[in-house]
Chain A
Amino acid sequence: MNVVTPLRPHTADHDVPAVSIRGLSRRFGDGPRILDRLDLDIREGEFVALLGRSGSGKSTLLRTLAGLDPVTEGSVSRPKDVSVVFQESRLLPWKRVWKNIVLGQPDATREHALRVLEEVGLSHRLDAWPLTLSGGESQRAALARALVREPLFLMLDEPFAALDALTRLRMQTLVSDLWQRHRSAVLLVTHDVDEALLLADRAVVLEEGRISLDLPISLPRPRRHADPQFERLRGTLLRALGVHDN
């Protein structure tokens, strides 16, 4: 049923797209198209932020890429090794943190879990029960679970939306560091324009199932809000999202 075709595993060539979407359409029943003949490429190691208002088709696109929704019209190719981090950590509450991280990885040991937990700064909660973690810690654990699979393509579905502002800033730095180290292709679905500008190589705005803006962000990293270029891009993105600040 699912026609997400795996791409060849690993090539050094950076022009080869890790993810390639062609003419992807999706509709539920006789309703309007949620996705409308969408084309999108994500290069290897590229960080793409996907923005859009509620109902613009962001979630449907991500679910299709994650293999949760079938491809009925068009084609999608992506690496076989992908990981998803959702807005909620979705840890199994009845398994200790490290068991959650190696879930479905028969070869992974406690040592593997420890190593990725160290990367996200959560090694001290290796044996904790998930329900005792704070919101930020849960998302760190979810990130660790994604990383242990060494994905070539990482999907982040508004992963920081439920966190408080300070924790969110810390998590954004963490994701930025992790991405610099692992260099997997990343698709970050977010509502937060600043988040997109801080992290992504490219911001894509989705509107009524089509890409209305594809904006390269070539600011040097680490990025600063005070940068006038940052301000200009911010204005562009906000206008594309229908927010006009004078």
Chain B
Amino acid sequence: MSGATLHTQHQPLLRSDSAETDATLPRPNPTRFSLPRWLPSLSRYLSPLIALLTWQAACSFGLLSTRLVASPLQIAHTGWSLLQDGSLMTNLEVSLLRAASGLSLALLAGTILALISGLSKLGEDIVDAPLQILRTLPVLALVPLFILWFGIGEAPKILLVALGSTFPVYLNLHKGIRSIDPKLLEMARTLRLSRLQTIRDVILPGALPDLLVGIRFAVGISWLMLVVAEQVNADNGIGHMMMDAQDFLRTDIIFVGLAVYGLFGLVSDQFVRFLEHRALIWQPAQRQGGRT
């Protein structure tokens, strides 16, 4: 609340400072109280911080049962000791590897399928309809089937991640390929580019912005799939660590797992944004660093 008011008070100050000097406008009084420039951005985090402090206080004064909700300090402490004894890192590595393998498969499958259906009418007839039908199916409902088919090893987990994240890759890339400016394709013909050159130099780069949007969705979905896959049948991974903790009523460990998943999501999203920024450098909006 107080963060919001600080923010709005600060805005006009900034504006009159940066505006071209106008003689009729009163100059801002230098002695007047003004916040340093970095403070408004910090004030965004004020309310989560207050929530955290309240949570800690509620646990410390016994208002919340620590059996149901671990205190933030306890969670931090557990997180640290899990890091120290190496169990967090081991589980993290396993989970990361599953997510990365699944995503790579999804990227490969989604790209190939989108190329087949995006580049020819026949391909679209063959590929698009089954994928659209499959897409409406809740992929998580396939878990029992996947266990029956692929056992309880790595395969069902990776495939579940791959299946879930193939759809956003396929759908977005397909749309990207279909919406390429036909004038550029005509140009490619007058320059007598081969089919392969046209795909490499015109079609794929033209569809890249859409593909990257698809990848962002795919990354999000891959975490979702991973959580379920690791909680249903697994003997390692972050999800397994959390299920294990449930048996021993260790809410602190469960919260550490949640925090790790949250961090995963945040970092991977930032990573894809970074990729976007690098790969789409030719777009004016990217060079100004504005696009969100």
Contact = CB atoms under 8 A, between A and B. Distances in A.
Contacts of B190: 66-68, 82-84
B139 to A, nearest CB: 33
A92 B188 CA distance: 10
A94 B208 contact: yes
B202 A92 contact: yes
Contacts of B281: 129
Interface string A127-163: 0011110000000000001000000000000000000
B184 A131 contact: no
Interface string B253-282: 000000000000000000000000000011
Contact of A103 (B189, B193, B282): B193
A92 B205 contact: yes
A77 B192 CA distance: 17
Contact of B283 (A86, A90, A131): A131
Interface string A86-121: 101010111100000001100000000000000000
Contacts of A66: 190
B189 A94 contact: no
B206 A94 contact: yes
A187 B169 CA distance: 45
Main secondary structure of the interface of B (DSSP, over half): helix
Main secondary structure of the interface of A (DSSP, over half): loop
Interface residues of A, number: 20
A123 to B, nearest CB: 20
B191 A104 contact: yes
Contacts, number: 47
Contacts of B202: 92
Contact of A131 (B192, B193, B205, B284): B284
Contacts of B208: 94
B197 interface: yes
B201 A92 contact: yes
Contacts of A82: 190
B183 interface: yes
A103 B186 contact: no
A41 to B, nearest CB: 22
Nearest to A155: B190
B183 A94 contact: no
Nearest to B284: A131
Interface string B73-111: 000000000000000000000000000000000000000
13 contacts: A66-B190, A67-B190, A68-B189, A83-B190, A84-B187, A94-B205, A95-B205, A95-B282, A103-B201, A104-B193, A129-B282, A131-B282, A132-B284
Interface of A: 66-68, 82-84, 86, 88, 90, 92-95, 103-104, 129-132, 145
Q: Which 3 A-B pairs have the closest CB atoms?
A: A90-B187, A94-B205, A104-B191
